[in-house]
Amino acid sequence: MPPASLSRKSPLLAAEAHAEGFVQVREARRSELVEDYVELIADLIADGREARQVDIATRLGVAQPTVAKALKRLVKEGWAVQRPYRGVFLTPAGEALAVEMRARHQTVEKFLLALGVDADSARRDAEGIEHHVSEATLAAFEAFVRKANGHG
């Protein structure tokens, strides 16, 4: 028998409102790959290295052909440039996206830490959550963290 909270009949949301959540998730999934690659490329470059295909593959835990395919997409969409016998470099648009994604990641991670999640889990979980939260939810996370740190 399902728990009482599940057995209660609750009205469904209107179809359009119900679909909005699924549309948001699909859009987040489509952009997640680009965002992960751009953020990692920026991190590798900031660490004083070139963002080489082999390093990207190692850090993402994927095969080099997978990285090659993703990099072609990044170049085609204007996020990155590849130079023969050199690494991958971000365009200004790619750099801006990397800054935005790093900030989102840090906000989500700080929020999880403020909730009492251990540092390793917060880091790992933030990696997925950062792509799926709305701007309104992200702002609520930021407000919660400020309040938890005595700044709000």
Asked if the structure places residue 29 within a domain, the reply is yes
Q: Which two tokens stand for residue 58?
A: 């190692």
Q: Give the pLDDT of residue 96.
A: 96
115: containing domain: 17-148
Asked if the structure places residue 10 within a domain, the reply is no
Residue 86 belongs to a domain with what CATH number?
1.10.10.10
Asked if the structure places residue 73 within a domain, the reply is yes
Q: Give the pLDDT of residue 7.
A: 53
Total domains in the chain come to: 1
- Is the separation of the CB atoms in 71 and 60 below 8 Å? no
Asked if the structure places residue 88 within a domain, the reply is yes
Asked if the structure places residue 31 within a domain, the reply is yes
Which positions ≥6 away from 99 have C-beta within 8 Å? 42
pTM: predicted TM-score of the whole model, two decimal places: 0.77
Which positions ≥6 away from 113 have C-beta within 8 Å? 119, 122
Predicted confidence pLDDT, tens digits, the chain (152 residues) = 555 555 556 677 777 776 776 666 666 667 788 999 999 999 999 998 789 999 999 999 999 999 999 999 999 999 999 988 888 999 999 999 999 999 999 999 999 999 999 999 999 999 889 988 889 999 999 999 999 888 76
Q: Give the pLDDT of residue 108.
A: 95
Asked if the structure places residue 27 within a domain, the reply is yes
Asked if the structure places residue 7 within a domain, the reply is no
Q: Give the pLDDT of residue 49.
A: 78
Q: Give the pLDDT of residue 60.
A: 92
Q: Is 134 helix (H, G, I), strand (E, B) or coil?
A: coil
Asked if the structure places residue 120 within a domain, the reply is yes
